[in-house]
Copies of this chain bind each other. A is one copy, B any other.
Amino acid sequence: MTVRVQQATFDIGREVSGFAKGRSDVGAIVTFTGVVRDVGDGLRHMLIEHYPAMTQNAIEKIEAEAAQRWSLGDSLIIHRFGPLEPGELIMMVATAAPHRADAFQAAEFLMDYLKSRAPFWKKEVTRNGEAWVCAKEEDEDALRRW
């Protein structure tokens, strides 16, 4: 169970390689990686603001909730803040479990909660100006399935 909130980028290959390495009690590893996407509106960069006094704890609570609901061998959450260029990594989640259904469901649960319950706010700076990303109705709906 690891949570890292950082401005620096991370090496997804190294993180995945190191995660649950050589553990023969774990049959399934799922990872999710979020990437800054340019949806064709000339994104210059994304700015991620967060609430430093709250972020780490809020994410650890979400992770603990996942560990209660599913049989997990391990989990890892990395979330960046600060300015990010298109194509850069924003965050990643990894789950390891004896069975694939647990690993998949826990990863989706973590993502749904990170989207709407971890104190991050994204702003997009495009060639036409800047705007805060609005929370989506569907992201709030996604929480209701858990």
Contacts and interface: CB of A to CB of B under 8 A. Distances in A.
Interface of A: 11-17, 20, 22-39, 43, 86-87, 98, 100, 103-104, 107-108, 111
Given A11-B13, A34-B100, 11 more contacts: A11-B17, A13-B13, A16-B16, A22-B87, A24-B37, A27-B34, A27-B36, A29-B32, A37-B98, A100-B111, A104-B108
Contact of A28 (B13, B29, B30, B32): B32
Contacts of A29: 31-33, 35
B25 A37 contact: yes
A36 B111 CA distance: 26
A30 B27 contact: no
A86 to B, nearest CB: 4
Contacts of A17: 11-13
11 contacts: A11-B17, A12-B13, A12-B16, A13-B16, A16-B33, A26-B35, A26-B37, A27-B35, A30-B31, A37-B98, A104-B108
